[in-house]
Amino acid sequence: MIDRNMPVTEEELHAYVDGELTPERFVVVERWLSAHPEDSARVAAWRAQAESIRARYGAVVAEPVPARLALERLLAQDTGWGRWRNVAAAAAIALVLGAGAGWFARGAFADNPHGQLAQPTAQDGFAAFTADAMQAYKLYVGEVRHPVEVPATDAEHLVQWLSKRVGYRLRPPNLESVGLKLVGGRLLPGPTGAAAFFMYESASGERYTLYCGKTRSPPTALRYNDGGTAGAASAVFWSSDDVAYVISGRGDRKQLKTVAATAYEQLDTPLPAGKSGG
Amino acid sequence: MASERTVNTFGQKVQAAIPALRRYARALTHDADSADDLVQDTLVRALRSEHLFQGEEVRSWLYTIMTNLNRNRRRALARRPVLMPIGDEDIAGAPEAPAGARDIARALDSLGEEQRATLLLVTLEGMSYRETAEIQGVAIGTVMSRLARARAQVRAFLDGERTQLRRVK
């Protein structure tokens, strides 16, 4: 009843045109318009604008969709990765310098193709680091809504931000060759400072994470940690160039090693001289 | 963990939105190729970050991605030293352009980026004020004030053109 006498606002005139009014106010506005020719002219002009816009662009929906927008095709090529690779390549330059030290680790892995990798010992420099990484994995792997702070759609920002906080130029590896896509990343505390945490996911929803940060430990070979119990998350870790890396996942050992080896190969970009030592 | 069934549903919803996304992109860019570039980037991002999609309205989410991408694109264009103005021939030459289409395209071009997006989302894409607010990441009040300013500006632009035409004749 109060509604009936309330003056009509400009907002309501827009809402009237856009079908956003309650039925009660709709009636009131209609009555108002019949008594206020200026407002009526405005409403008519807005409607004419909308009709012109629809007349100009509405036919686009009837056009055949060009082949380059076919979803199967986009899924197959995922062209957006081109830009992403450029970012990664730029970040890699810093890492290539002096990465040769990590190369003996390649040999260690190759000598133990059946997973006969050394278990970490208590005195190991980054047992604590691995423990933190596996905690992080367990905490976030089941997270549905917020597995990451910055999604991979914002990869450039993600890498810049985490690099700044962690203190070296990061380069999250591209693991598409083993069926994993980057979901995104977040910043986490590590035993000796900030750590970067990247999450990857397969088409079937398996998640793997890469946890990395600066370390004072000497370079080590790739090592396998089975997580203690059957079915628990396991991890492969290594360090080179003052950076420690932990790849965690719940897949079988072979799969985890494949993922870790792929990441390792990209992170420790080979130097030609290093190959003779492997 | 997305089952195959939900993946299919997601893909179907994305697929169904493509024609409308192309329409919105065309109105934003005034150029068929740039528009489809924008749609392609939107689809690639959507497919790649499907994991991050948590059951909101797929259509609104796609418009959100496109709106953000277009904002970045406009910024990149603005940094270029030479901006090609929308010439009469671009629009008047289009065979499907009906009478008045040239005027409305130029009127839209006279709007600020955010105002144009608001007006197009509401009038061309039929989004509610609430959906438009979500897509643009602003309050509903902001959507309403943008809409009011956009409509006033378009009206003034079209009135001005008519006045000029009369003067010339």
Q: Where are the domains of chain A?
A: 122-267
Specify whether the CB–CB gap between A236 and A223 falls below 8 A.
Answer: yes
Q: What is the pLDDT of residues A12-54, one digit of tens each?
A: 999 999 999 999 899 999 999 999 999 999 999 999 999 999 9
Size of chain A, expressed as the number of residues it contains: 278
Compute the distance between CA of residue A222 and CA of residue A191 in angstroms, rounded to an integer: 20
Helix, strand, or coil (residue A113) = coil
Residue B123's pLDDT is what?
Answer: 96
A and B: number of Cβ contacts within 8 A: 124
Q: What is the pLDDT of residues A138-154, one digit of tens each?
A: 888 877 778 888 888 88
Compute the distance between CA of residue B37 and CA of residue B14 in angstroms, rounded to an integer: 16
Q: Which is more confidently placed, A235 or A87?
A: A235
Is the predicted pLDDT of residue A10 greater than 80, yes or no?
Answer: yes
Q: Side chain identity at B54, as an amino acid letter?
A: Q
Q: Of A56, A69, A204, which has the smallest distance from its Cβ to B97's Cβ?
A: A56
Q: Among B40, B2, B125, which Cα is nearest to A18's?
A: B125
Structure tokens at A30: 């209609």
**Cβ within 8 Å of A, B 82-111:** 96-98, 100-101, 103-105, 107-108
Residue A182 confidence class, pLDDT cut points 50, 70, 90:
very high
Taking CB atoms and an 8 Å limit, are A57 and B158 in contact across chains?
no
Compute the distance between CA of residue B101 and CA of residue A263 in angstroms, rounded to an integer: 54
Tell me the pTM. 0.52
Compute the distance between CA of residue A212 and CA of residue A247 in angstroms, rounded to an integer: 9
Residues in A closer than 8 angstroms to B15, CB to CB, are 71
**Element of type H or E holding A249:** strand A243-249
* Interface predicted TM-score (ipTM) of this complex, two decimals: 0.82
Compute the distance between CA of residue B134 and CA of residue B128 in angstroms, rounded to an integer: 10
The dotted CATH code for A122-267 is: 3.30.200.100
Helix, strand, coil shares of chain A, percent, nearest 5, are 50, 20, 30
Nearest CA distance, B80 vs chain A (angstrom)? 20
Helix, strand, or coil (residue A98) = coil
